[in-house]
Structure 1
Amino acid sequence: MINVLVADDELPAVEELAFLLGRDDRVGTIHRASSGSEALRILATTSPDAVFLDIHMPAVSGLDIARAISRRAKPPLVVFVTADEDCALEAFELAAVDYLLKPLRAESLTRTVGRIAELLRDGGAPAAEMITVDQGGTTRMIRRDDIMYVQAQGDYARLHTAEASYLVRVPLADLEQQWADAGFIRTHRSYLVALKHVTQIRLSADGPHVTVAGAGVPISRRHLPTVRERLEATRVRPQP
């Protein structure tokens, strides 16, 4: 079970997040704090696995709390929950596991809890690889591991996540080389897929494809052998 602390200077926001977390079977004890100073007092006597912090709290902000607990020998995992996108880069420089925007979406929170559970099993929180994107005149930071697949659009590439898509001025071939070690594989001249997000694969000769986020992404004849090879490498086999 994952024990957490929720801190926000708006009590309704605390209760909403605590309610949503309480619906997740993976979450155990939920501590609540309605100010940054109260959060620090709780952290002085308890050791939650993860803390969900509002950034803009009076006197002691969520960023202040994250800096304070980062000096611990075994700090809890940090998730920022805020209506402000401007602090995303600083948040991830503090090794935040995630950065959730208000109003909260239950699906996003579920993914975050899953990420926390995975990191706790692995024993640590590696720094997230961040991607800078532009959308509607606003510059945003998104996690690379949230990108499910990439689609070529001329000299540009469209990055597809579960919640939105973003156009970046980078050719697909460049991303293929840069992201190969991160589990991205070329399935077609127009598509790059993150293997971790693939939910189904059809390798029949009459239109092979992979399913990612409910979308069918084609596998070309040229790339089919490479896809088969990568799949065989992940197959579970009996011990010799």
Structure 2
Amino acid sequence: MTGTNDSLTVLAVDDEKPALDELAFMLRAQDAVGQIRHASDATAALRILQDGDIDAVFLDINMPGLDGLELAGILSNFSSPPPVVFVTAHDDRAVAAFDLGAVDYLLKPLRSERIAESVRRIVDGRSRKSVQDAGAVADEVIPVELGGSTTLVHRSSVEWVEADGDYSRLHTAEGSHLVRIPISALEKRWTDAGFLRVHRSHLVSMPLVTGIRTVGNGLVVCLRARGGRPPVELPVSRRHTRMLKDRLVGAPKRSWTAR
């Protein structure tokens, strides 16, 4: 880990100097951030990144030459790519950003609390990777905007995920939360944590699955009651049926039924 006392070395990239200065100022205010390096375009950013001492990148999308998404695509080919947070004035690139594995997607004008959340996610991701390397999977925290305030939803509290256009809706015992992350990105991120795609619109937490059953000409997966809510049944698509059955049969002390 680079930086002092395990602090983060962050690369801030923006072609507009006032925006770059503001981003660097907000990052500097974060306790977890040690060193901040700057780049005004993708070419300069790549030169810095090739040194291999960057822990995270805060990256503007709209830049001349290579834009931020194209640069992130190049980074994805690195053997150990740094986590990327996109910074933009436009909200129409979120799906593409999260498909590239973005840690977060910040809209300008920037807010210090959102910068802090992004930094926390980066730090949590680093800790999670360390735990995974030791053979376990740490919990993930998802920041959710609710009425102008931010709520942190733990992945362990999520029972199932529902596709909602280009976004996803996280269902917990307390309610549902809309997040700017496509279900395909959550599927990739949460597979090792016990989540399985059972339908193009649904991702379920396998520890909550009690079985499957036939309804009409199709199957539904059954999730046990939790937190006072009744059991939930979700449709299973044909293309996901075999994977679900294999997972249930292979799970210890668990069986599946089709009635």
Normalized against structure 1, the TM-score is what? 0.57
Q: How many residues align?
A: 164
Taking structure 1 as reference, are residues 131 and 62 closer, same or farther at Cα in structure 2, changes over 3 Å only?
A: farther
Q: Which residue of 1 aligns with 2:102?
A: 96
| 2:76 maps to 1:83 | no
Q: What is the RMSD of the two structures over their aligned residues, measured on CA atoms? A: 3.7
Out of 218, 227, 238, which is 1:187 matched to?
227
Quick one: distance in 2 between partners of 1:65 and 1:49?
Answer: 16
1:72-112, CA deviations, whole angstroms, 9 ceiling, x for partnerless residues?
11111111111111111111111111111111121111111
Return the alpha-carbon distance in structure 1 between the equivalents of residues 163 and 111 of structure 2. 22
Report the identity percentage. 41
Q: In structure 2, what is the Cα distance between the partners aligned to 1:67 and 1:178? A: 29
- Deviation, 1:132, is 5.1
- Return the alpha-carbon distance in structure 2 between the equivalents of residues 141 and 34 of structure 1: 30
Aligned-pair distance for 1:64?
A: 1.2
**Equivalent residue for 1:159, pick from 167, 171, 177:** 177
Aligned to 2:64: 58
Write the letter of the residue equivalent to 1:141.
Y
Alignment check: 8 A CA contact 2:173 2:227 kept: no
Q: In structure 1, what is the Cα distance between the partners aligned to 2:90 and 2:178?
A: 22
Unaligned segments of structure 1, at least 5 residues: 134-138, 152-157, 162-174, 191-240
Give the ranges of 4+ consecutive aligned residues of structure 1 lying more than 6 Å apart after TM superposition: 124-131
Among candidates 79, 87, 107, match of residue 113 of structure 2: 107
Question: Does the CA-based 8 Å contact 1:35-1:57 persist in structure 2?
Answer: yes
For 1:135-214, list aligned pairs within 5 A: 141=167, 144=170, 150-151=174-175, 159=177, 178=204, 186-189=226-229
Question: 2:20 pairs with 1, 14, 17, which one?
Answer: 14
TM-score (norm 2): 0.53
Aligned to 1:74: 80
